[in-house]
Chain A
Amino acid sequence: MFIDPHIHVSSRTTDDYEAMQKAGIVAIIEPAFWLGQPRTKVGSFQDYFNSLVGWERFRASQFGIKHYCTIGLNSKEANNEALAEEVMELLPLYVGKEGVVAVGEIGYDDQTKAEDKYYRLQLDLAKEVNLPVMIHTPHRDKKRGTIKSMDVSEEHGLDPSMVVVDHNNEETVKEVLDRGYWAAFTIYPHTKMGSERMVEIIRQYGAERIIVDSAADWGISDPLAVPKTARLMKEKGIKDEHIHLACYQNALSAYGQSGQMKEKDWLEAQPIDQRSKLAGNTVLRGGQSPRVEGSASSDIVEN
């Protein structure tokens, strides 16, 4: 069993969902982020948040995957201050909702003043509603941005045990762990971590407070990054216990602090049966043959 605690499934296909389920992913967290291009109206944010707590949650359930999300204003779009103000007014409506496991992903991109302002406001919000925080660390000037993210979080009185610092690399991991934070690693080709480097990190640091995710989205990325990395860890002789912590348990322990994510959500879930759940007009278009666990795929497009 695996958890992918950072994946933007709204951008992925049903084939991905099927493959994820087959590979053993039982639960996922979809953080609110930017959509590749800036939004221009607050209504776009509202509809996006709605899809995170509504449609995408349902779509995942059709493939036997339990879907959670985080809600927040991402750092890039924090730079449009007029819009950011309006989004901030929306957030209290969503952060307390069922299945919302953190405020996130928030933090710095360019590390501008506006980013700093809305990062701080959202840290206060998380503290007020007692939710964990998912921090997105910047791609550029990463080390400094990561340290600053932690400094500011502490300044606002958040306990590091409630904060997941994401997109770590070899240069940031030590300080993040030393300061008591959860350290997440994104296995994402070319820009972030690769599976082999991840194995070495675990070898060096163990698996305490380490979390592996895919951050798969609309870019060239891999929704199977977590199970693939787990398999490589196994091949390279990493202990099962460490694989379990990094690819399942730590994500559950960190985000479970929200009270919104429990193992029984997937252990006691109904078996997948697209026939009884929807059929027809939903993810199965008119009369598609529903998938029942165990059936094989076909070379033709089914009637």
Chain B
Amino acid sequence: MTYQVDNLQMIIFFDSVITNHLEEDELKWISQKKEKIEGNLNLSSFYIAFSTASRSIRKKPLLLSGQELKQANNLRSGFYPENWDQLHWVRSYFLLILANHKREAYENGLIKLFETATMEEQVSLYGTLPILPYPNFLVKLAIEGIRTNITTVFDAIALNNPFPTEFLPQAAWNQMVLKAVFMQRPLYRIYNADERANSDLSRMLIDFAHERWAAHRWVSPELWRFVAPFMDDNSFSDIEKTVNTGASLEKKAALLACASSNNKKADKLLAQYPEIRKDIDAGRITWTMIGQQQENKIKS
């Protein structure tokens, strides 16, 4: 695959968003820089434009209209840039312009940007992954990014981003989910995560839960989501333990895992909790709801 999106269409979309939301002096600065980085590309002017954006662009939230958000997602499914600030938009816009140049310049430029990025620039770089060309080249950058310990940077890759689900090899994907659990990140924000559930991941998550229990620490209720499709008698005993000893949210999550597994013992266990089963069947207990409640609990 070469393109994840039509680059020119995306540039036009970014043009319209930026024109709609930024102020006159900012637009003037952008158009001056744009002249320098379109046409004949001099990489060092590009680096300067990218890294000095914070001097001319205000770092304030950019609130997309519903129409704009819909358009973003039409251009690239799974692309929801609703939490990007203005500076992020401008940096990503420059990246799209870079991507319009010859492949070699684009790849070398991008590598250098990743190598020298500030914490905030890293967030912008990883946030732009789903709309940049040559995803196979981007994969190694994403894998390196997952090794970060900076939460905002990790979140930019792992959460609300379709790139990892679609392109990461399984081992890297599993590391990302495991690390998200370890860092207490909200798993329900991982885009289409269920598509990539696998038995290896399930085993690692169960081992992780055992370690946590041995140290008398709590285990995220979201974890059982990825165990459910591979539930065997061994993992069932962990689910059963959670149902019997967990707090209300943990119990609901473990029973939701039962509902989405094919294990007979799990069916029987669920049958003992008709009220919860009713809520599950009616869509009142979902992984999103459990994730949101857990996220609020961690925050409060």
Contacts and interface: CB of A to CB of B under 8 A. Distances in A.
B133 to A, nearest CB: 24
B140 to A, nearest CB: 18
A50 B183 contact: no
Contacts of B16: none
Interface in B117-168: 117-122, 149-152
Nearest to A273: B299
B182 A46 contact: no
A275 interface: yes
Contact of A278 (B52, B87, B183, B217): B183
A42 to B, nearest CB: 12
B117 A54 contact: yes
Interface in A69-127: 90, 92-94, 96-99
Contact of B55 (A53, A96, A287): A96
Nearest to B115: A46
Interface in A253-303: 259-260, 273, 275-283, 286-287, 303
Given A282-B183, A287-B215, A94 B119 contact: no
B48 interface: yes
Contact of B149 (A94, A275, A278): A278
A167 interface: no
B55 A259 contact: yes
A284 to B, nearest CB: 10
B299 A276 contact: yes
B51 interface: yes
B20 interface: no
A94 B217 contact: no
Given A92-B48, A94-B51, A281-B179, A50 B115 contact: yes
Which of A49, A260, A279 has the most C-beta atoms of chain B within 10 angstroms of its own C-beta? A279
Given A275-B298, A276-B298, A303-B217, A282 B119 contact: no
Contacts of A282: 149-151, 183
Contact of B119 (A46, A57, A92, A280): A57
Nearest to B87: A98
Contacts of A55: 119, 149-150
B84 to A, nearest CB: 15
Nearest to B54: A98
A58 interface: yes
Interface in B83-124: 87, 112, 115-122
Contacts of B217: 287, 303
B184 interface: yes
Contact of A58 (B55, B150, B183, B212): B150
* Interface residue SS majority, chain B: helix
Nearest to B211: A286
Interface residues on A, range: 20 to 34
A50 B120 CA distance: 12
A58 B54 contact: no
A101 to B, nearest CB: 12
B170 to A, nearest CB: 21
Interface string B202-238: 0000000000100111000000000000000000000
Contacts of A53: 117-119
A260 B184 contact: no
B47 interface: yes
A93 B116 contact: yes
Contact of A54 (B51, B54, B112, B150): B150
B272 interface: no
B182 A281 contact: yes
B51 A96 contact: yes
Nearest to A62: B151
A291 to B, nearest CB: 15
B44 interface: yes
Given A260-B54, A280-B182, A280-B184, A98 B121 contact: yes
Nearest to A277: B151
Given A58-B150, A279-B184, A49 B298 contact: no
24 contacts: A46-B116, A50-B117, A54-B150, A58-B149, A58-B151, A92-B48, A93-B47, A93-B48, A93-B112, A96-B51, A96-B54, A96-B55, A99-B118, A259-B55, A260-B55, A275-B299, A276-B299, A278-B149, A278-B151, A280-B182, A280-B183, A287-B212, A287-B215, A303-B215
Given A58-B149, A281-B179, A283-B149, 7 more contacts: A46-B116, A58-B151, A96-B51, A96-B52, A97-B121, A260-B54, A286-B182
Those 6 A-B pairs whose CB atoms lie nearest each other, nearest first: A96-B52, A98-B54, A53-B118, A280-B182, A280-B183, A282-B149
Interface of B: 44, 47-48, 51-52, 54-55, 59, 87, 112, 115-122, 149-152, 179, 182-184, 212, 215-217, 298-299
